[in-house]
């Protein structure tokens, strides 16, 4: 039977069953190969970019199902999912300990026992250990009475609050461990509760569990049990931005220990990680201490990979709901518009020998047909018809490398199609529905959401930055539109690269844009060919707002710091200058129709 | 806990006893002066504490100055810090001690009208440790209109969130192996509630909606209903419950019942409705240590048109039962 509901609705991966995860998950690990491999990894990406789903897929229940294995032992690693919710660990009371020695010690204990509780909860809920042999269950019971008991004792828990279970059932013993670590967490909170309104020190007499002296040896012992995988234990800390600064530094200290052969730390962030310094203020560095992945940069830079991933994700979701599986048929293009574009393409191909600019007949057709069509709608006929953002390929481009930005609008489109349909199954989404939803989304992103972010900035000096960012986005979007409808040889432009060094103020505004997903950052060879320079790419989600063509390869322009200052302060004047052919420079080495070496993003992926 | 409604002009006469300590809070709202004005004369209050957020607009400082002048030379200023709950707690604590609150027999008249929810919760925790046999009477002056002049669907009180934090004194009990249950007592502020849900991504969501006939005015109920509808549309799965906007004991009992429906979850509660319902939530947390209270601090308030003062006042006496600690559920 097919599941009811919207095939594109987004759920928290934590709540999805293993079979659903395995059904829906598209293996993206060839793009992010460091995630499932041994080693510490930071995985950065905005909310909805698929981090939690990746982590959920690594959990043992999914791994067993995906690899059709019966026993944990055959898995290459054991991954424990540890979501960090906002106020789980970041309790206000902890601020009482700031600038006191106990701060690091108690926060580390809190973090360690929090994780330990999750490890045993994972074994209970995700590892299918119910059917372990008596011998294996016995080994776990011995682990409790032996190594774990000794470590707890060494940490100061001389008398466990709960006596060891009498029976050897693994479920009973696991629950004992969970209860012990839940209790230890509660004890920390109880201590903090007493600290709430005290301005003087309060003696802490409870146990103290650190990483090197407790959590690591405990996990090593656990790893050594005969039913556990031979590979390392992965601790998947999701949304580590929600740790307070001390906890962040402690986690970095663990990364610094480089214990990944036994315990690999996989840390996801929403691009707001507080610091890369340790508790002793040392900096952790990539690649020595960890590898680092920024999902949006990878996908903004490698669109062909991204397209394939989204196609597969959509295909699986449609299949699960017993709907037509072909994404391009489910999200059809606007046929009339595509016919008109094909006609323009044909005329470019026909006149290529006489007036063509590209090396091959299709080059001109590909580069100019769609921009020409958009231009034709910007003239005197403006308002009578408009370009439709429709068709699976365009929707993928418009999601700008973040799967959530495909699924959420798709979910709305599906709901709208149901609301306007005849009650029968939805076999496709009409192009007008696609266009309406996608334009709404772009408008919401650029207007309402931007306003919300701006409102959230309490610091007046930062509020000015949002105004500057808005100006910059309008200037870039407006300028790229002017270029699109011009007769320039390269009309699809979404990026700027600096021909000199951006100053601190300009960089601050650009970084703000990156932080909130309006821009992506990459790097590219500089004008002189002597090194690399910073590049900023406008999010394709904004294409409908500025009437840009989101499809295909897009070029970039070199700018100076002073030109971007002009854009920030006087966006209209900036756009006028662009119309007059000023301020932006073509990449000098770029022969537009030759297959130049594509720009590289920071991680070496192709920029397109 | 009975509550009575009275005209502000009759408040002083309505009070049957003299209160040792009067506590109020200055804000940018004009109504922060309503109750202090009504009790300044008439000899019904002894020591006077005027709280104010020191990192707020000049209007707040100016209103604090006016309140201090109005309440006489013995009135004491208590600076609070909306960005630093520890400073708020320390300053409140110091002021209470200086006013003699450490002697458990003091009686209190607390004007809760314009405290932030967070400061109010901290104050209640501090009073809990000090209240003995003395009466604590809460006074609240409802607004005649919120978000002055705007149609119901456009009304707003605050925008954006700068920070989400646990409320000092209400850390709950973290049991990492458990799932999470977020209980939101919805007010007018859909944006803040939505951000809260987005940040927590709880396993279980309970959205509370102010019960008809319990709002301080029927028109406020309509706005609250609109806000609830807006949020409910954006949440795919939630449990709905109703609560009284004015009855402290009823709020406590409904919150406790809602939490007990999901006994295997860590409970986080966001009180975002009336101040009186927030007092009820604090009561629930007094008796259920496991409840964590959270606060989403607003980035921007509707300073220009937050509210128009009304001419009435609601009085709620907190019984000795209210302050009692209890066993966890």
The residue ranges of DSSP E strands in B82-232, in sequence order, are: 108-111, 136-140, 143-146, 158-171, 179-185, 204-210
Q: What is the pLDDT of residue A396?
A: 94
Q: What is the pLDDT of residue A599?
A: 38
* pLDDT tens per residue across span A28-48: 888 888 999 999 999 998 888
Residue A327 pLDDT greater than 90, yes or no: yes
Comparing B3-142+310-323 with B152-301, is the CATH topology the same?
A: yes
Q: What is the pLDDT of residue A329?
A: 96
Q: What is the pLDDT of residue A585?
A: 74
Least confident of A470-479, B18-27, B59-68, B157-166: B157-166
Select from A235, A270, A289 the last residue of a domain: A289
Q: Which of B171, B189, B269 should we substitute to test contact with A (largest number of A Cβ atoms within 10 Å)?
A: B171
Nearest-CA distance from B163 to chain A in Å?
A: 9
Residue A118 pLDDT greater than 60, yes or no: yes
Structural class in CATH, domain B3-142+310-323: alpha beta
If one counts the domains in chain A, the total is 2
Q: What is the pLDDT of residue A606?
A: 32
Residue A473 pLDDT greater than 60, yes or no: yes
* pLDDT tens per residue across span B56-103: 778 889 999 999 999 998 899 999 998 899 999 999 999 999 999 888
Domain boundaries, chain B: 3-142+310-323, 152-301
Mean pLDDT comparison of A210-219, A586-595, B133-142, highest-scoring range: A210-219
Q: What is the pLDDT of residue A460?
A: 57
Give residues with Cβ within 8 angstroms of A516, minimum separation 6.
A453
Answer for the pair B312, B5: CB distance below 8 angstroms, yes or no.
Answer: yes
Average pLDDT of the segment spanning A82-107: 92
Residue A418 lies in a domain: no
Q: What is the pLDDT of residue A593?
A: 34
Q: What is the pLDDT of residue B289?
A: 94
B180: chain A residues, CB-CB within 8 Å: 85
Confidence category of residue A199, pLDDT binned at 50, 70, 90 = confident
* pLDDT tens per residue across span A348-389: 888 777 776 667 777 778 788 888 898 888 765 555 468 999
Q: What is the pLDDT of residue B223?
A: 66
- Reduce the DSSP state of residue A336 to 3 states and report it: helix
Residue A2 pLDDT greater than 60, yes or no: no
Q: Is the dihedral of CA A471, A473, A478, A479 positive or negative?
A: positive
If one compares A490 and A403, the residue with the highest pLDDT of the two is: A403
Answer for the pair B120, B275: CB distance below 8 angstroms, yes or no.
Answer: yes
Residue B222 pLDDT greater than 60, yes or no: yes
Cα separation, A73 vs B134, in Å, equals 66
The domain of A204 spans: 32-289
Percentage of chain B exceeding pLDDT 90: 57
Residue A417 lies in a domain: no
Confidence category of residue A461, pLDDT binned at 50, 70, 90 = low
Q: What is the pLDDT of residue A3?
A: 60
A114: chain B residues, CB-CB within 8 Å: 174, 176
Q: What is the pLDDT of residue A454?
A: 77
Average pLDDT of the residues of chain A = 87
Average pLDDT of the segment spanning B262-288: 95
Taking phi over 0 as left and psi of -120 to 50 as alpha, with beta for the rest, A156 belongs to left
Residue A580 lies in a domain: yes
Beta bridge partners of A234: A79, A264
Give me the residues of B, 3-62, that contact A with CB < 8 A: none
User: Which among B165, B177, B200 has the least Cβ separation from residue A118?
Assistant: B177
* pLDDT tens per residue across span A288-322: 999 999 887 777 666 667 888 899 999 999 998 99
User: Which among A114, A117, A199 has the least Cβ separation from residue B90?
Assistant: A199
Angle at A91 between CA A87 and CA B78, to 5 degrees: 120
A180: chain B residues, CB-CB within 8 Å: none
DSSP state of A277: B
Average pLDDT of the segment spanning A460-474: 82
A192: chain B residues, CB-CB within 8 Å: 171
The CATH architecture of the domain made up of B152-301 is 3-Layer(aba) Sandwich (3.40)
Confirm or reject contact between B174 and chain A (CB < 8 A): yes
Nearest-CA distance from A416 to chain B in Å?
A: 14
Confidence category of residue A576, pLDDT binned at 50, 70, 90 = confident
Percentage of chain A exceeding pLDDT 90: 54
Confirm or reject contact between A500 and chain B (CB < 8 A): no
Beta bridge partners of B184: B207, B270
Answer for the pair A407, A454: CB distance below 8 angstroms, yes or no.
Answer: no
Percentage of chain A exceeding pLDDT 70: 91
Residue with tokens 């308030």: B301
A103: chain B residues, CB-CB within 8 Å: none
Q: What is the pLDDT of residue B55?
A: 81
Confirm or reject contact between B90 and chain A (CB < 8 A): yes
User: Which among B160, B171, B180 has the least Cβ separation from residue A189?
Assistant: B171
> At residue B295, what are phi and psi to the nearest 5 degrees?
-135, 130
Q: What is the pLDDT of residue A492?
A: 86
Select from A258, A289, A320 the last residue of a domain: A289
Nearest-CA distance from A239 to chain B in Å?
A: 10
Nearest-CA distance from A271 to chain B in Å?
A: 14
Cα separation, B99 vs B45, in Å, equals 12
Confidence category of residue A598, pLDDT binned at 50, 70, 90 = very low
Residue A71 lies in a domain: yes
Mean pLDDT comparison of A249-258, A302-311, A420-429, B11-20, highest-scoring range: A249-258
Average pLDDT of the segment spanning A251-263: 95
Give buried/exposed letters for A266-293 (b at 16+ CB in 10 A, else e).
bbbbbbebbebbbbeeeebeeeebbbbb
Please choose, from the candidates A36, A183, A549, the residue with its C-alpha nearest in 3D space to the C-alpha of residue B175: A183
Q: Which of B160, B177, B269, B292 should we substitute to test contact with A (largest number of A Cβ atoms within 10 Å)?
A: B177
Residue A603 pLDDT greater than 70, yes or no: no
B162: chain A residues, CB-CB within 8 Å: 456-458
Q: Would the CB atoms of A193 and B129 count as touching at under 8 Å?
A: no
Q: What is the ipTM of this complex?
A: 0.91
Q: What is the pLDDT of residue B327?
A: 52
* pLDDT tens per residue across span A517-537: 899 888 888 777 778 888 899
Q: What is the pLDDT of residue A302?
A: 63
Select from A289, A314, A333 the last residue of a domain: A289
Token duo for residue B20: 């040792």
B58: chain A residues, CB-CB within 8 Å: none
Give me the residues of A, 426-455, that contact B with CB < 8 A: 452-453, 455
Nearest-CA distance from B46 to chain A in Å?
A: 25
Cα separation, A456 vs A454, in Å, equals 5
Q: Would the CB atoms of A87 and B129 count as touching at under 8 Å?
A: no
Average pLDDT of the segment spanning A96-111: 92
């Amino acid at each position: 039977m097919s599941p009811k509901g919207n095939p594109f609705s987004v759920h928290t991966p934590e709540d999805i069953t293993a079979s659903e995860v395995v059904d829906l998950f598209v293996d993206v690990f060839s793009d992010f190969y460091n995630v499932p491999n041994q080693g510490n990894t930071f995985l950065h990406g905005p909310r909805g970019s698929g981090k939690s789903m990746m982590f959920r897929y690594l959990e043992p229940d999914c791994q067993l199902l995906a690899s059709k294995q019966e026993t944990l032992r055959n898995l290459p690693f054991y991954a424990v999912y540890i979501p960090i919710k906002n106020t789980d660990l970041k309790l206000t009371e902890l601020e009482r300990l700031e600038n006191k020695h106990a701060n690091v010690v108690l926060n580390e204990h809190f973090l360690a026992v929090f994780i330990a509780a999750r490890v045993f909860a994972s074994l209970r809920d995700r590892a299918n250990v119910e059917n372990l042999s008596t011998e294996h269950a016995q080994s776990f019971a011995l682990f409790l009475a032996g190594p774990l008991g000794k470590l707890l004792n060494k940490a100061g828990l001389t008398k466990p609050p709960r006596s060891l279970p009498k029976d050897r059932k693994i479920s009973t013993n696991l629950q004992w461990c969970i209860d012990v670590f839940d209790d230890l967490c509660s004890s920390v909170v109880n201590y903090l509760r007493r600290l709430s309104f005290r301005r003087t020190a309060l003696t802490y007499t409870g146990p103290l569990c650190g990483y090197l002296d407790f959590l690591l040896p405990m996990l090593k012992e656990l790893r050594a049990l005969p039913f556990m995988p031979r590979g390392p234990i992965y601790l998947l800390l999701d949304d580590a931005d929600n740790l307070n600064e001390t906890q962040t530094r402690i986690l970095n200290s663990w990364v610094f220990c480089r214990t990944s052969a036994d315990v690999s730390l996989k840390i996801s962030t929403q691009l707001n990680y507080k610091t890369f310094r340790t508790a002793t203020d040392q900096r952790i560095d990539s690649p020595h201490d960890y590898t680092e992945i920024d999902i949006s940069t990878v996908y903004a830079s490698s669109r062909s990979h991204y397209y394939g991933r989204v196609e597969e994700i959509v295909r699986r979701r449609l299949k699960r709901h017993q709907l037509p599986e072909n994404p391009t048929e489910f999200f059809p293009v606007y046929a009339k518009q595509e016919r008109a574009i094909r006609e323009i393409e044909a005329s470019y191909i026909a006149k290529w020998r006489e007036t063509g600019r590209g090396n091959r007949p299709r080059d001109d057709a590909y580069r100019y047909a769609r921009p020409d069509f958009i231009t034709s709608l910007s003239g005197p006929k403006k308002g009578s018809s408009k370009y439709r953002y429709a068709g699976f390929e365009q929707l993928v481009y418009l999601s700008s490398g973040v799967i959530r930005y495909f699924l959420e609008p798709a979910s709305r489109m599906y709901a709208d199609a149901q609301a306007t349909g005849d009650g029968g199954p939805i076999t496709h989404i009409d192009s007008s529905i696609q266009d309406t939803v996608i334009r709404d989304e772009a408008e919401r992103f650029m207007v309402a959401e931007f306003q919300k972010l701006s409102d959230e900035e309490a610091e007046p000096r930062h509020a000015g930055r949002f105004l500057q960012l808005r100006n910059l986005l309008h200037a870039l979007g407006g300028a790229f539109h002017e270029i699109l409808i011009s007769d320039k040889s390269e009309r699809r432009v979404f990026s700027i690269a600096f021909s000199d060094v951006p100053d601190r103020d300009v960089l601050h505004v650009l970084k703000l844009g990156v932080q909130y997903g309006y821009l992506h950052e990459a790097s590219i060879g500089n004008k002189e060919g002597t090194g690399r320079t910073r590049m900023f790419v406008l999010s394709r989600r904004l294409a409908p707002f500025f009437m840009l063509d989101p499809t295909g390869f897009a070029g970039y322009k070199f700018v100076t710091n002073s030109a971007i200052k002009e854009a920030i302060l006087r966006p209209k004047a900036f756009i006028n200058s662009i119309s007059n052919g000023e301020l932006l420079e073509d990449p000098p080495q770029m022969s537009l129709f030759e297959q130049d070496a594509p720009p590289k993003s920071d991680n070496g992926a192709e920029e397109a | 806990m009975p509550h009575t409604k009275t005209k502000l002009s009759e408040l002083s006469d309505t009070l049957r006893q003299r209160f040792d300590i009067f506590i109020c809070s200055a804000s940018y709202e004009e109504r922060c002066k309503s109750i202090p004005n009504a009790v300044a004369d008439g000899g019904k209050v002894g020591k006077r504490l005027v709280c104010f957020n020191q990192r707020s607009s000049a209007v707040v400082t100016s209103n604090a100055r006016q309140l201090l002048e109005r309440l006489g030379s013995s009135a004491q200023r208590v600076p609070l810090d909306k960005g630093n709950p520890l400073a708020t707690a320390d300053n409140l604590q110091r002021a209470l001690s200086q006013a003699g609150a450490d002697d458990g027999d003091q009686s209190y008249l607390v004007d809760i009208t314009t405290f932030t929810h967070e400061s109010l919760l901290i104050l209640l925790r501090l009073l809990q440790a000090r209240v003995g046999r003395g009466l604590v009477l809460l006074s609240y002056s409802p607004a005649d209109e919120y978000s002055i002049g705007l149609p119901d669907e456009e009304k707003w009180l605050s925008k954006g969130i700068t920070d989400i934090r646990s409320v000092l004194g209400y850390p709950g009990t973290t049991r990492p192996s458990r799932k999470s249950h977020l209980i939101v007592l919805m007010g007018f502020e859909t944006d803040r509630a939505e951000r809260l849900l987005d940040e927590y991504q709880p396993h279980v969501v309970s959205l509370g909606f102010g019960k008809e006939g319990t709002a301080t005015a029927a028109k406020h109920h309509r706005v609250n209903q609109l806000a609830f509808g807006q949020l409910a549309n954006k949440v795919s799965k939630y449990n709905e419950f109703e609560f009284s906007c004015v009855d402290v004991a009823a709020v406590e009992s409904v919150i406790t019942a809602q939490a007990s429906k999901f006994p295997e979850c860590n409970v986080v509660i966001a009180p975002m409705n009336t101040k009186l319902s927030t007092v009820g939530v604090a009561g629930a947390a007094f008796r259920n240590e496991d409840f964590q209270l959270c606060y989403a601090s607003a980035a921007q308030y509707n300073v220009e048109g937050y509210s128009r003062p009304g001419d009435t006042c609601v009085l709620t006496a907190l019984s000795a039962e209210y302050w009692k600690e209890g066993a966890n559920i």
